[in-house]
Amino acid sequence: MRAVVIHQFGKPNVLKMEEVPTPQPRGDEVLVQIRAAAINPSDVKNVAGTMHGTTLPRIPGRDFSGVVVGGSGEIGQEVWGTGGDIGFTRDGSHAEYILLPRTAVTAKPAALSMEAAGNAGLTFVTAWSAMVTASHVSSGETAVIIGAAGGVGSAAVQIAKARGAWVIGVVRSEKDVAAVRENGADEVINSQSANISEAIRSLTQDRGAHVVFDTSGSMFADAVEAAGMEGRVAVITAPSDGKSTFNLRSIYRKELCVRGVDTRRMDASDCAKLLAQMKPGFESGQFKAKAGKAYSLESAVKAYEEAAHGGSRVVLQPSP
């Protein structure tokens, strides 16, 4: 089979397109023919060597959608998935086929195209882990999503809205305001033209938010100030040096709960359970995902370079 392979860490141009043996399923394993596989920021970081635990050589790629073609699964079933092990300690999805435990795949929602499903797994698993598992967002609460126009942010807006929260999205450009409102946000703040914490205080009659989720990792100080008494703040990433300067008094005076979320600790089977739990939301139309810009496997270096620049979602399509 054709596969993108990392032999050494570096810029995207270190990636090699190779012919490698097609894996053969044994026991409770399934072989999935890949139809679409997103290139996430963590995939780019993986190639660069800044993600922990990756063993080489390795086929990268966390997200996938495809069709079961062998092993113990239902042959012909359309499936999707993601995982903190895929592309790091087991070969990933940037290839024509992927071999996984049967429990690591789950039925793709019929409402999602292959292209959209292959682009959505990690963003929704991350958003669910932050908003539901870590923050327990619930009906009647105010939820603030910093970076609401991004992949994880847009998923978090939808999840918070589906659980009955009043949602405030924070963006960095006026051009993103309309899209975030269309995605379900009740209010949208442009951080380039407004002070986030002051704007949120004004919108909440000075109470602050019950839940604040900073998807960017660079605005933790703002997240702390935006949270209200006994608020919950979810953290999924950090600046390149891992450091943030914030007002520690705000955390203890407001008795905030800060919860870290690391989806790398969730293997593909863990993620499959969450995606199955979210399936009714996709089937009903509560949750929506878009297809990213598609590239062939042969154009993987170019696709990774585009993903590295950010601003748009990119997927590889190994099979028609």
What is the spatial distance between Cα 231 and Cα 227, in angstroms, rounded to a whole number? 5
- What's the CA angle centered on 174, arms 313 and 119, to 5 degrees? 15
pLDDT of residue 320: 61
pLDDT, residue 314, reads: 95
pLDDT of residue 157: 98
The per-residue pLDDT for 315 is 96
What is the structure's pLDDT at 289? Answer: 95
Nearest to 41 by CA among 314, 238, 307: 307
Indicate whether 152 pLDDT > 80.
Answer: yes
The pLDDT of 23-47, averaged and rounded, is 97
User: What is residue 15's predicted lDDT score, i.e. its pLDDT?
Assistant: 97
pLDDT at 239: 86
For 94, the 3-state DSSP assignment is: coil
pLDDT in tens, 247-270: 999 999 999 999 999 999 999 999
Q: Distance (Å, rounded) from C-alpha 301 to C-alpha 213?
A: 32
The average pLDDT across 100-122 equals: 97
According to the model, what pLDDT value does residue 312 have?
A: 80
Do residues 255 and 230 touch, judged by C-beta distance below 8 A? Answer: yes
Is pLDDT of 246 > 70? yes
φ, ψ (nearest 5 deg) of residue 125: -65, -40
Distances from the Cα of 202 to the Cαs of 139, 189, 224, in angstroms?
21, 11, 16
Say yes or no to pLDDT of 311 above 80: no
The whole-number average pLDDT for the span 290-317 is 92
Strand partners, 241: none
pLDDT for residue 292 is more than 90: no
How many Å is the maximal CA-CA distance in the chain?
A: 61
Please state, rounded to an integer, the average pLDDT across all residues of the chain: 95
pLDDT category of residue 217 using cuts at 50, 70 and 90: confident
Beta-strand (E) ranges in the chain? 2-5, 16-19, 29-39, 64-71, 78-81, 97-101, 106-107, 142-146, 166-171, 187-190, 209-214, 227-235, 257-260, 293-295, 314-316
pLDDT digits 0-9 by tens, 51-66: 989 999 999 999 999 9
% of residues, the chain, pLDDT over 70? 99
